[in-house]
Amino acid sequence: MSDLELEMNTPDEENLPTIMLTDEDGTEEAFQVMGFQAYQERDFAILCPVEIEDGAEVGLVIMESVGGNSLEFVEDEAVTEAVFNLFMETLAIDDDEA
């Protein structure tokens, strides 16, 4: 999957924005935007699937912003891990300040 269509909306019942990602096969899936993270002068979105089966492990999805209006999956595991770790550090700092 590369270029994905991006549609933003904020549901009334949720505080987190939701985006619909459409793959090249036309399959849509809703994801909540957990946050954004800058890394090496690039912008990344951290996403969590909206539909999660009971007891299933949840993996966050890291996507890179491309031109401000589309997202691409990050295929480099080192970049994905670095972005995820920075994002988690930011969450820990925010929790300490609260």
pLDDT number for residue 11: 43
Q: What is the pLDDT of residues 29-63, one digit of tens each?
A: 888 988 889 999 999 999 988 887 777 676 788 88
pLDDT (tens digit per residue) in 73-94: 899 999 999 999 999 998 876 6
The arithmetic mean of pLDDT across residues 62-76, rounded, is 85
pLDDT confidence of residue 71: 82
Give residue 86's pLDDT.
Answer: 94
Q: Tell me how far apart the alpha carbons of residues 73 and 3 are, in angstroms, rounded to a whole number.
A: 8
